[in-house]
Structure formats: structure tokens, C-alpha cells
């Protein structure tokens, strides 16, 4: 593949007064800030969170905020840029704030999800295999891997307080974020036993991309190395929502190669591409050895066979909320048997319930279990 990449052009420097970089607040937030609410500033090492942290500290000083302030960073393990945590540590040093770091392993989570879906398929607890990856519709990477541990850390650290959890999202980043509110209650910060409540807060939600870069230049805030390499954003090195350019940029750094091979190995084992219709293994095949390249090509063929087999399933035989809605007829059970065998062969797993009679009995068993649980 071509190694040529477009270099990110920074907008021209535009000197402004501090109040021309507005901090978005609401009356509710203002009242809590006056009362000394905790401000937890989420930082990733990327341009938006760094600019937000500096600007927010200036704002809090101007309004004489007296409550606790901390930086908090979610480290997702091998999939992180190695420069991200040091950028956050440098930020903490410059701002004179404590940096709390919470840890999760994103790659391990995807591997576990792959194992779980295979196990469920083997036991006919699902009719179609589920991809291991998170997605725009199913962002468990942001929820359980970032939001939950950050909220847990803040509530345990600051019991019996109102917590304002700030992040650097901006409305002009995407169509989805155009709808984002300045602030909203965050249920995961509501802990009755700890006596906490809290809000998500988006202080720079109205800033443009030019505002962010101009602020960096004016305040002499260093930029993450990924931008200098040509990336347009910093998150995980390989994100399911990344552009092809940003995925390619990540592969230019040798420190990211191990994570790349780990993710391609999940593509091969699961027969699901990292992004819809786009295989991560195709981004930088030169990083893979010959055996992995051949295995990836085979996985694509097996994915096609899996998809072809599952396309034969009528909608009413699929589970709803994780359970069947009716026992299949004998002919439907025969179809399920054929599909299950084809999928199992394509994905190379051993399955139970392969005959029409066994499938009908299993559907009946699962339906009865649901009735019993509902009655208990």
C-alpha cells in the first residue's frame, strides 16, 4: 500500500482574548461550581482534551472555584498510543493537578467477547454469531471501558459530593455530537451508598477546530506526536471509528505493531472485519508474516460462507432479547440445522444441537426457562 500520507495543516494563529474561547456552562452547573463541586477533567492526550483542561482551569480560577480539581485518564492497555499517558502526565505537571489513571484492556475485552459469542453459539443461546468489535451503534468501548471506570474512580475518591465530569467533545466533530448538550446528569455518578451525584460537562462544545489549534499555539501547549505523523485525531491507535488515514498512520509507529497483529488475529479467528466491510489486516499487510496474510485471506473466504449461510435464516427464527419467540417447525428446524453446521464449519467451532429434533427441544427448553424466570 502507499505510504504517502497527508500532513495535518494547522489553522493560522489567531490571537484572541481569553473570553473569546468561551466555556459553556448552564445555571445548574454554575450553582454547583459556586458550592465547590468536584471537577474531574477527562484527558486522553489529544488536542481537544488538552485545550479543554487549560481553558477550564483558567475559567475555574476566574470564578474563584474552591472545590477539588483532578485530571483523570483512561488507559486501555496495548491499544493506546505510547505517548498518550506521558502527555497527560506532562499536563498534570504543568497545571499542578493530580492525575488519576484508570486501567482497562480493550484488546482483552474484544477477545473475551469473541470467546463468549462462540460459547453461546455452541449452546444455541444465539442463532447468529455476533461480531467481537464495538461499533458506532454499540460503544461498549466508551461505556464500560472508559465511562464506568472513570465514574467509579471519581465517586470513590470524592464521596458525598457533587461531581462534574468534564470532557473535550465539540459539536463540529460529527453529526452525532452536533446534538450533544452542554451538560446532562450522569447516572453512573449517582451512588446512594457513597452519597454522590454528578453531571457530564462539555466545556468547549462550541469551539471549532481552528479554535482548538489557535488555543494550543497561544498557550504553547504541545501536540501529541500522532498529529505530527498525519493523524487527525487521537484515541486508540486502532479505533473501530477511525478513518483509513488514521489507521494507516498508527501502523507507521513500530510500537503499535503488536496491537495491530493482535487485532488481525481476532479478525482471523472470528471472521468479522474490524470495521464494517473493511479489514484491518488490509491496512498494512507488510506488518504481518506470510502465515498471517494467508490466514487472513482464508478468513475472508470463511466470512463469506458464514454470511451466506446466515442469510438463509428467516427473521422470526432469530432471538429477541436473547431468547427465542417460538419453537420452529420441523422444516424450520431442518433449515437451522443446515445453517448451524455451515457456520460451524466456516468458523471452525464444534457445536451442540445439530439435528432438527435437538434444535426443537432446545428452543422449547429456552422458552420454558424464560417463563420460569419471569414467574419467579
Give pLDDT tens digits for 46-92.
999 999 999 999 999 999 999 999 999 999 999 999 999 999 999 99
Contact 190, 196 (CB under 8 A): yes
303 lies in the same domain as 343? no
Query: What is residue 139's predicted lDDT score, i.e. its pLDDT?
Result: 80
295 lies in the same domain as 257? yes
290 lies in the same domain as 342? no
Between the alpha carbon of residue 42 and those of residues 31, 195, 206, 214, 356, the distances in Å are: 21, 22, 18, 21, 53
78 lies in the same domain as 197? yes
296 lies in the same domain as 150? no
Query: What is residue 1's predicted lDDT score, i.e. its pLDDT?
Result: 32
Query: What is residue 182's predicted lDDT score, i.e. its pLDDT?
Result: 96
26 lies in the same domain as 128? yes
Query: What is residue 370's predicted lDDT score, i.e. its pLDDT?
Result: 86
Q: Which range has the worst mean pLDDT, 98-102, 141-145, 219-223?
A: 141-145
Domain boundary among 261, 279, 309: 309
Calculate mean pLDDT across residues 102-127. 96
294 lies in the same domain as 371? no
Calculate mean pLDDT across residues 202-224. 95
Q: Which range has the worst mean pLDDT, 9-23, 53-67, 253-267, 303-317?
A: 9-23
- Strand bridging mode 162-166 / 38-42: parallel
Q: Which domain holds residue 348?
A: 316-375
Q: Would residue 121 count as lying in a domain?
A: yes
The Cα–Cα gap between 269 and 115 comes to 10
24 lies in the same domain as 136? yes
pLDDT in tens, 134-155: 988 888 888 888 999 999 999 9
Is residue 302 helix, strand or coil?
helix
Domain boundary among 225, 251, 269: 225
Report the domain count for the chain: 3
More confident residue, 193 or 19: 193
Q: Would residue 3 count as lying in a domain?
A: no
Q: Would residue 145 count as lying in a domain?
A: yes
Phi, psi of 185 (to 5 degrees): -65, 140
141 lies in the same domain as 265? no
pLDDT in tens, 251-284: 999 999 999 999 999 999 999 999 999 999 999 9
189 lies in the same domain as 247? no
Calculate mean pLDDT across residues 303-327. 94
272 lies in the same domain as 344? no
CATH number at residue 146: 3.40.50.620
The Cα–Cα gap between 376 and 371 comes to 9
Query: What is residue 15's predicted lDDT score, i.e. its pLDDT?
Result: 44
Q: What is the DSSP letter of 201?
A: E
CA quadruple 222, 227, 229, 234: dihedral sign: positive
Per-residue pLDDT band for 19 (boundaries 50, 70, 90) equals: low
How high is the mean pLDDT of the chain? Answer: 92
User: Per-residue DSSP letters for 346-367?
Assistant: HHT---S--SHHHHHHHHHHHH
Q: Would residue 283 count as lying in a domain?
A: yes
Q: Would residue 6 count as lying in a domain?
A: no
Q: Would residue 201 count as lying in a domain?
A: yes
Q: Would residue 243 count as lying in a domain?
A: yes
Least Cα distance to 57 among 227, 235, 215, 226 occurs for 215
Query: What is residue 93's predicted lDDT score, i.e. its pLDDT?
Result: 97
Enumerate the β-bridge partners of residue 236.
80
- Strand bridging mode 69-75 / 183-185: unpaired
Per-residue pLDDT band for 6 (boundaries 50, 70, 90) equals: very low
Largest CA distance in the chain: 75
68 lies in the same domain as 210? yes
With the CA atoms of 223, 225, 227 and 229 taken in that order, what torsion angle do they form, in degrees rounded to the nearest 10?
150
Domain boundary among 270, 288, 309: 309
Query: What is residue 174's predicted lDDT score, i.e. its pLDDT?
Result: 83
Query: What is residue 144's predicted lDDT score, i.e. its pLDDT?
Result: 84
The Cα–Cα gap between 263 and 7 comes to 26
Is residue 48 helix, strand or coil?
helix
Q: Would residue 152 count as lying in a domain?
A: yes
Residue 30 contacts by C-beta under 8 Å, 6 or more apart in sequence?
none
Amino acid at each position: 500500500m502507499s505510504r504517502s500520507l497527508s500532513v495535518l495543516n494547522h489553522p493560522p494563529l489567531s490571537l484572541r482574548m481569553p473570553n473569546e474561547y468561551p466555556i459553556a456552562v448552564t445555571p445548574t452547573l454554575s450553582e454547583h461550581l459556586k458550592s465547590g463541586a468536584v471537577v474531574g477533567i477527562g484527558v486522553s492526550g489529544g488536542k481537544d482534551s488538552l485545550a479543554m483542561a487549560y481553558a477550564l482551569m483558567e475559567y475555574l480560577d476566574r470564578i474563584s472555584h474552591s472545590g477539588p480539581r483532578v485530571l483523570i485518564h483512561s488507559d486501555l492497555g496495548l491499544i493506546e498510543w505510547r505517548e498518550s499517558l506521558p502527555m497527560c502526565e506532562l499536563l498534570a505537571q504543568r497545571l499542578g493537578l493530580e492525575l488519576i489513571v484508570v486501567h482497562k484492556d480493550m484488546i482483552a475485552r474484544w477477545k473475551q467477547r469473541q470467546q463468549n459469542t462462540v460459547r453461546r453459539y455452541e449452546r444455541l443461546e444465539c442463532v447468529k454469531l455476533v461480531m467481537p468489535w464495538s461499533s458506532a451503534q454499540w460503544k461498549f468501548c466508551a461505556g464500560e471501558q472508559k465511562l464506568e471506570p472513570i465514574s467509579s474512580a471519581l465517586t470513590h475518591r470524592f464521596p458525598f459530593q457533587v461531581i462534574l465530569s468534564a470532557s473535550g467533545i465539540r459539536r463540529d466533530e460529527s453529526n452525532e455530537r452536533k446534538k450533544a448538550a452542554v451538560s446532562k446528569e450522569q447516572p453512573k455518578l449517582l451512588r446512594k451508598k457513597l452519597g454522590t451525584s454528578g453531571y457530564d460537562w462539555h466545556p468547549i462544545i462550541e469551539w471549532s477546530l481552528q479554535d482548538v489549534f489557535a488555543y494550543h499555539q497561544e498557550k504553547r501547549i504541545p501536540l501529541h506526536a500522532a498529529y505530527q505523523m498525519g493523524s487527525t485525531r487521537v484515541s486508540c491507535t486502532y479505533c473501530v471509528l477511525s478513518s483509513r488515514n488514521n489507521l494507516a498512520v498508527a501502523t507507521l509507529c513500530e510500537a503499535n505493531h503488536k496491537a495491530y497483529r493482535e487485532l488481525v488475529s481476532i479478525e482471523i479467528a472470528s471472521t468479522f472485519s474490524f470495521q464494517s466491510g473493511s479489514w484491518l489486516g488490509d491496512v498494512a499487510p507488510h506488518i504481518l508474516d506470510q502465515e498471517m496474510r494467508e490466514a487472513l485471506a482464508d478468513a475472508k473466504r470463511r466470512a463469506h460462507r458464514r454470511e451466506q449461510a446466515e442469510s438463509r435464516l428467516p427473521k422470526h427464527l432469530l432471538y429477541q432479547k436473547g431468547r427465542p419467540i417460538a419453537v420452529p417447525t420441523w422444516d424450520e428446524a431442518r433449515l437451522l440445522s443446515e445453517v448451524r453446521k455451515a457456520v460451524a464449519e466456516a468458523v471452525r467451532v464444534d457445536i451442540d444441537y445439530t439435528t432438527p429434533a435437538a434444535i426443537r427441544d432446545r428452543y422449547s427448553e429456552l422458552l420454558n426457562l424464560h417463563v420460569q424466570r419471569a414467574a419467579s
